[in-house]
Amino acid sequence: MTFRKWDIIRFALSKQINSLKDFREILFSYNETYRNKWNLYGLAFYANQIIDQDDRPKLLQTMGRIAKLALELPELIPHPIPLMKQGQPSVLTLSQMQIACLLANAFFCTFPRRNDTRRNAEYGTYPSIHFNRLFAGNKDRECEGPQIAKLHGIFHYFEQVTNTRPTGHVTFHRQVVPNVELPDWKVLLDTPLCGMGVRSDGMIEDEGKDMVQVDFANKMIGGGVLGHVSRSEYIGKTCNSIAASQGAVQEEIRFIINPELIVTRLFVEELDDNESLSMIGAQRFSNYRGYASTFEWAGPHVDQLPKDNQGRIKTEIVGIDAVRFPPNQVDDQYRRNYLIRELNKAYCGFVQSIVTCHERPPQIATGNWGCGAFNGDKQLKALIQLIATAAARRDLVYFTFGDAKFADDLRGLYQSLKAMDVSAGTVLSVVTLTILRGLIYQAYTGQLYDWVAKYNADVVRKFDGPDMTLFDYVTERLTNG
């Protein structure tokens, strides 16, 4: 950022904010090109229609304090933040106040050359960081549902960090596993099956507090956390694609309740197939309820987790991005190349980070990764993750988010595999390309891809819908040879 540009921003942010009109004029004083392109209807609706009238002065005061926090940039960030580029393993630790200052500047859209989000732009391979889309309104100049929850969460975060300055640190680790170090999925015959627990109750961020918690990420980290989508769009036929790009599904919700994660969008380039992003020490500020169109902010959260010797809250989150399969290409996930891709991606997230906050390798807390908005088959994704944890030699806790039947099915399949002593190299050798090679039934040697292909041909394609689940089919094939 040039000194002249910063002088303009500093002059603007030094002004009083007594109304949303003042905020608008500040924002466009150094973003003049976007005066007629951006709208702030969502923020205006939130301020005038959603929050109580008595709380409106408090909202404006908070915006003023965010501006003051943004002005601390030269003191808190004396040197440029290094970019965490694709293909380059890197570690970056920031103080919580440095992150708060960077997010305050994102709130006021001050970062140079970050408004152009086209693919061929200078930062086209980085996520958007400015908050302008979160402030925008829908076609009726309103905001609703998830957007309201996001604004509640963001303003609550800034209220907290401007009232009581946090003193901890957060570490970000871009983990790159060279292709030559990825498992050879065809030779896992002697790899034992890892331990696995299955829970239909609880949430990753709550019951997984002593584990490495999986963020069902987008390759542009944070996904649609700074976007918005209307309730009517959510329930329309384009729900999945909208939710994936603008909504409030697992990753976006996590970034709202732990807002310090949002800063990754400033410096983390899109993830490649052999990369993951570990985020260690992010404080949780909010509670929530619901999901997607029902996502709601549910009040403050007091994070009481201990800190490690580096001053980081002992929360370790790892982002791994699954492949999104369009509705008309869902069958592609059973193809050999996609199975390998997802196995490799899960493995990249499950190998222990060099900057972990845990004294010994903890369990992996995961769930229906790549399902929902990304149209993944949850049974297939569960098997993929089970195999990847075996390769990474980590135990797994799988959360089914209230789906008791799926929990029973997965638990039953896993127990069968263990009971039949399909030890390591078996279930696992397993779901991979050479999947479950001798799994439960050691006399049987096959490939996961073959089973899935046969399942597709024998069951799915012959009927309007499958008569048995993938779990049932795998069990039957193994048991009956």
159, 205, 233, 252: the catalytic one is 252
233, 251, 269, 308: the catalytic one is 251
Residues tagged in the binding site annotation: 218, 250, 291
Distance CA 364, CA 385 (A): 10
144, 159, 205, 215: the catalytic one is 215
Q: For the purposes of burial, counting CB atoms within 10 Å of the CB of 460, is it exposed (0-12), middle (13-18) or buried (19 or more)?
A: middle
Residues tagged in the binding site annotation for substrate: 218, 250, 291
Whether 260 is catalytic: no
Find the angle CA(31)-CA(34)-CA(35) to the nearest 5 degrees: 90
**Tokens representing residue 94 in the block:** 């920031």
Query: Of 143, 134, 149, 150, which is closest to residue 232 (Cα–Cα)?
Result: 143
**Tokens representing residue 481 in the block:** 């040879």
Whether 252 is catalytic: yes
Written as one letter, the residue type at 260 is E
Among all chains, which residue has been given the structure tokens 């905001």?
143
8 A C-beta contact, residue 99 and residue 262: no
**Tokens representing residue 77 in the block:** 């960030």
Distance CA 374, CA 218 (A): 10
**Tokens representing residue 330 in the block:** 């869902």
Whether 215 is catalytic: yes
8 A C-beta contact, residue 415 and residue 395: no
Written as one letter, the residue type at 143 is C
Strand 212-217 to 275-280 pairing: unpaired
Q: Please give the DSSP secondary-structure letter assigned to residue 85.
A: -
Q: What is the DSSP string of 252-284?
A: HHHHHHSGGGGGHHHHBPPP-TTEEEEEE-PPP
Q: What is the DSSP string of 209-241?
A: TTSEEEEEE-SSTTTTTT----HHHHTSTTHHH
**Tokens representing residue 269 in the block:** 């380039």
**Tokens representing residue 411 in the block:** 């638990």
Which residues are tagged catalytic?
A: 215, 251-252
